[in-house]
Structure 1
Amino acid sequence: MAEGVPWGEPDGDAGGGARDPARRERAERIRESFVVVPLLGMAAAVALAVFTILLDMALSWLVAESGAQDELSTTLQTLTDSANAVLGTAGPATLTVLGVVFSITLVALQMATGQLTPRVLYMFTRGWLAKLTLAVFLGTFVFTLVVRYAGGLLADDDTGTPFVPVSSTAVAMLLVGASLVAFVYFVDGTVKMMRPTTVLDRVGRETLRQIRALPRDTVPPPRKAAVAPLGEGGGDGHVRTVRSRSDSGVLVRVDTARLLRWAVKNDAFVRVLREAGDYVATGSPVLEVRSPRPPERLDRVAKAVRTGAERSTFQDPAFGVRQLVDIGVRALSPGVNDPTTAVQCIDRLQLLVEEFAQVPQGERVVRDRGGRVRAVVPLPQWEPLVELAFTELVLFSSGQPQVTRRLAAALDDIEAHVPEARRPALHRARGELRRVCARSMPEGLVEFAQTADHQGLGG
C-alpha cells in the first residue's frame, strides 16, 4: 500500500496511484473555500491591467515619436473618450449585475434546499462554476477600476504624450464578454441545482467516487481492548490516549501522512478511535498510541484529526448515503408527499450499496516503507451502511406502494450481487418492509406492495 495516502484517494492497490497527501489536503481546502478562487481572479485582473497599461504606454510613446500626433489628435481624442466611456460603464455595471444575480440565486437555492435537504447546499460552495463566475465578474470590475485610475494619472503627466487605452479597452470588452458567458453558464447550473435529479446525480457520483477510493488494504476490526500493533504480538510498552485539541466539530478527515511521519519518528503504533462523521468535542479521546518508549510531542499527532463545522463526502462516503436518505425521507413526509423523488433516491442508493459490497470490511492500515503497520483508521462497515441506506426509507414508505415496490426490487438485486455472509442485513430490511406493508396497506394490496418493481409502479 502506498505510504501515507489519505483514504479519500485510491491507493496503489486500488489502481489509482498515490498522490501527495499535503497537495490533496490543499486542493480540498481550496475547493471548500468560497474565497480563494475569487481573490486569485482579482489578483490576476490587477496583473493583467498593469500589463495592458504598460502596453498602451508603449503604443502612445510610439505615436508621439512618429511625429503624427498632431495629425491624429482628433482621432486619438475620439479613441480616448470612447475608451473611457467603455471602461467607466463596464465596471460598475458588472458589479451591479453580480450583486443582483447572486442575491436571487442564494434565495432560490435556499428554497430548493428546503424541498430537498439543507445538507446539499455545500455543493454550491464546493462547485467550481460559482467560484469561477464570481472570479470573472470581480476580475472585470477590478481591471476596469485599475485601468481607469491609471489612465487618469497618466493623462495628467507632464510628458505631453497622450495616453490612449486601446489594448486596455479591448481586454475590458473581452472580459465583459467572458462575464456574459459565465453568467449564462452560472444561471444554467443554478437552475439545474434546483432540480432533484441533478442534486441526486451529483451526490451519487461524488459518493460513488469516494467508495471506489476506499483502500483495499484492510484488517478485521479488533476488539475494543486491543491496542497492540497488528502483527507485532503486543508486549510491554507505553500506551497513551491522545485527546482532541481542535475546536469541537465533525471529524471531516484524518491526515494519515502526519500519522505515519509521527509514528515512524517515535517508533509507535497509532489507532484512530473515531470515524469520519462523528462529532468530536474538544478534549475527547481521538487516538490511542502505543510505543516502546514515552512518545514525544503528542500535540503534533493530535493535529492529524481534523474537525469541521459540517460533514463532507471527502473520506466519508456514508455522508453521501445520508444525504440521499434525507432527501427520500423528506419526499415521503406528509408535507411534501413526493414518492417519485423517493424512488429516484433508491435508484442511487442501490448503486452505492452494490459498489460498497465490493469493499473489504475492517480497518484501513497505514504501513511504513518496511511494511510494518504504523496506524489503523476506522472505515465504514457493511451492516451499518445498509441500515443507514434502507431503515428510514422502509419505515417512511408506509402507505406508498410505489416506494415499497422499488425497495423490494433494490433489496432483491443487491442480495443477488453480494456473498452469503452479507445477506443477513438485507434480510432484516426485507422483513421490516413486509411488516410495514402488512400494517399500512389494505389486505388486497399487501402482496402487490411487496412485489419487486424497478420503476415502483412501472409495470
Structure 2
Amino acid sequence: MTRSELNILRRLWRSTKQGLWFRPLLWILAVTLLALATYPLGAWLLDLLPLPEVKRETAQALLELLASAMLTVTTVAFSMVMVVITFASGQVSPRSIPGILRDAAIQDALGVFLAGLVFGLLGMLSIEVIGIWPHGPLVTVLLGGVICTLTVIYLVRLIHHVSRRVQVTHILAQQRILGHAAIERFFGTAPPGKAVPLDTDGADGAGRYPGFGDCKLQLDAPVSGYLQVLNLQDVFHFALAHDLFVRVLHTEGDYVGRGWPIFDIHAARMPDDETLSALRATAQIGEERTPEGDPLFPLEVLGEIGERALSPGVNDTGTALAALDHVADCLLRWARHADRLPGLTDDDGRLRVAVTPPRLATALERTVARILRSGQGNPEVERRALWLLDQLARSDSIDAMARTAIVALRRRAARRNGEDGGSGNS
C-alpha cells in the first residue's frame, strides 16, 4: 500500500471516529453480535445454571416494553444534548459545539439507548424464530435485563455529565485541555529529521534552494476548506525519497481555497503525478477547523468566551477572569517552545522541509487582545492581563513579533490600569 493510500485511510478514519454516529453504531453492532453468540449457547447456559423456564409470551411482552422504553429514553437523551448545544452556542461560543458532539460520554449513552431500541425491535420481528428454541425466551429475558441495567447506568451518567457540560467552568477546562494537546502535538513532538530554527525560509537572494536545482512548482489545494491536519513526517520522507525541498505555505487551521498553493517544491527534475498526489494527500482539508493540530483554535474559543463574558449584556467578570487563567496556562506552555520558522534537515545537513508555524503574536491578538478590548476599564481584567504579559515577556524563546505584541498589549492595559508593571495573579 502506497503512502498516498495510507494517508487517505488515515483521513477517512480520523473523520469517521469523530462522527456522532460512530460510537452508537459500535454499540448496536456489539449488542447484535452478543445476541447472535448467546442464543446458540443458551442450552449450555441452562445446563450450567438452574434458571426457570420463560414462556414466549413473556419474552414478547418484555421486548415490546423494552422497545417503547428505549424510544422514550433516546428522545430524552437527544433533548438533553440539544439543550447543551443551544446553551453553548448562545451563551458561550458556537465553536465549542464540535467538542460537545465528539464527547465520548454522550456518544456512549446514545449508543446504549439506540442499541436497546434495535434489540427490542429485532426481537419483536424474530419472536417466532426465538420461540422455536426451548431456551430462546430465557436468553431474550436475560439480554433484556442486561440492556435495562446498562440503560439505567448510562442515563444517570448522562444526566450527571450534561449537568457538568452546561457549566462554563467545565467548557473552559475542556478547551484548555484541547489547547495543551494541540500545542504539545505541534511543538513538543519530535519532528522527523533534524529540526533547525531558521530566521528565513532557507532560500538564497534569488529565491533558490541550493542543491535542489531550478525546477520549481507549486502544489495546489484540490478543494476549499480549512487545513485540518498536516502529516509533516510523510512530507519529510517524500522529500528524502524524491530528493526534494518542500516549503509548507500554510499552517494547520488556515483556510485554503481550491487552487491555492499549499506546497512550494524545488527539485532537480519534475516529480511524477503519483508523487505529487501522495504529497497532496499529506494535507487533510475539511469544512471546519479542528483542534487536533491547530493550537490556535481552542485558544480562540477561550478568547471568545472571555470577550462575550465582558459584553454589556452579560457583564460576567468572573468568567472572563477564568478564561484569562486558562489562556495564560496555554500561552505560557506555548512560550516554552521556540517560535521561529523551523526547518527539517537530513543526515547530511541539507534543508528538506520548511514549515510556517502558528505565531504566538497571533495567539495573543486573538485571545488577550479580544478580552482587553471588551474589558476596557475593568481593573481586575487588566491586572490579570498585565500579569500574564509580564510572565510571557520573561521567556527567552519568544520571537521579536511576539515581544512587539506584548509591549503593545501592556501599554493598552497599563494605560487604563494606571500601572507600569504587572501585578500578581490573585
TM-score after normalising by structure 2? 0.85
Out of 428, 435, 451, which is 2:408 matched to? Answer: 428
- Looking at structure 2, the residues matched to 303 and 55 of structure 1 have their Cα atoms a distance apart, in angstroms, of 47
1:195 to 164, 167, 190: 167
**Offset, 1:102:** 0.7
Shift of 1:181: 0.9
Q: How has the CA–CA distance of structure 1 residues 238 and 429 changed in structure 2, closer, same or farther, with 3 Å as cutoff? A: same
Kindly report which structure 2 residues correspond to 1:367-446, keeping only aligned pairs within 5 A, or say none: 373-418=351-396, 423-435=403-415, 437=416, 446=417
How many angstroms apart in 2 are the aligned matches of 1:417 and 1:267? 38
Equivalent residue number for residue 219 of structure 2: 242
- Indicate the percent of aligned positions where both proteins have the same amino acid: 25
Compute the displacement of 1:279 (Å).
Answer: 1.0
Which amino acid counterpart does residue 172 of structure 1 have in structure 2? G
Contact 1:244 1:280 in 2 (8 A): yes
Matched residue count: 408
Q: Is 1:29 aligned with 2:15?
A: yes
Aligned pair partner of 2:125 in 119, 144, 149 = 149
* 2:41 aligned with 1:55: yes
Structure with bigger gyration radius: 1
Could you tell me which amino acid in structure 1 is paired with residue 251 of structure 2?
A: E
Tell me, in whole angstroms, the C-alpha distance in 2 between the residues paired with 1:36 and 1:105: 16
Task: State whether residues 214 and 266 of structure 2, in contact with CA within 8 Å, keep that contact through their aligned partners in structure 1.
Answer: yes
Q: Distance in 2 between matches of 1:352 and 1:244?
A: 31
Q: CA distance change for structure 1 residues 450 and 292 in 2, over 3 Å: closer, same or farther?
A: closer
Deviation, structure 1 residue 58: 6.0
Once the two structures are TM-superposed, the CA of residue 23 in structure 1 deviates from its matched residue by 8.8
Q: CA deviation at 1:240?
A: 0.3
- Measured in 2, the distance between the counterparts of 1:363 and 1:29 equals 29
Task: Measure the CA separation in 1 of the matches of 2:101 and 2:345.
Answer: 35
Conservation of the 8 A alpha-carbon contact between 2:244 and 2:266: yes
CA distance in 2, matches of 1:434, 1:49: 68
Question: Which runs of no fewer than 5 residues in structure 1 stay unpaired?
Answer: 5-19, 64-71, 438-445
**Counterpart in the other structure of 2:156:** 184
Q: Which of 269, 278, 281 is residue 245 of structure 2 equivalent to?
A: 269
User: Is 1:119 the counterpart of 2:119 in the alignment?
Assistant: no
**How far did residue 40 of structure 1 move?**
1.6
Q: Deviations over 1:173-228 (max 9, x none)?
A: 11111111111111211121111110101100111122123146342252596665
User: What is the TM-score when the length of structure 1 is the normalising length?
Assistant: 0.80
Which of 246, 270, 274 is the matching residue for 1:294?
270
- How do 1:210-289 residues align onto structure 2 when only pairs under 5 Å count? 210-213=182-185, 214=187, 215=189, 217-223=195-201, 233-234=210-211, 236-246=213-223, 248-289=224-265
1:308 alignment partner in structure 2 = 286
1:419–1:107 distance in 2 versus 1, CA, 3 Å: closer
2:69 is aligned to 93
- Cα shift at 1:262: 3.4
Alpha-carbon distance in 2 for matches of 1:49, 1:370: 60
| Letter matched to residue 39 of structure 1 | L
Residue 454 of structure 1 aligns with which residue? 425
Q: Distance in 1 between matches of 2:161 and 2:350?
A: 48
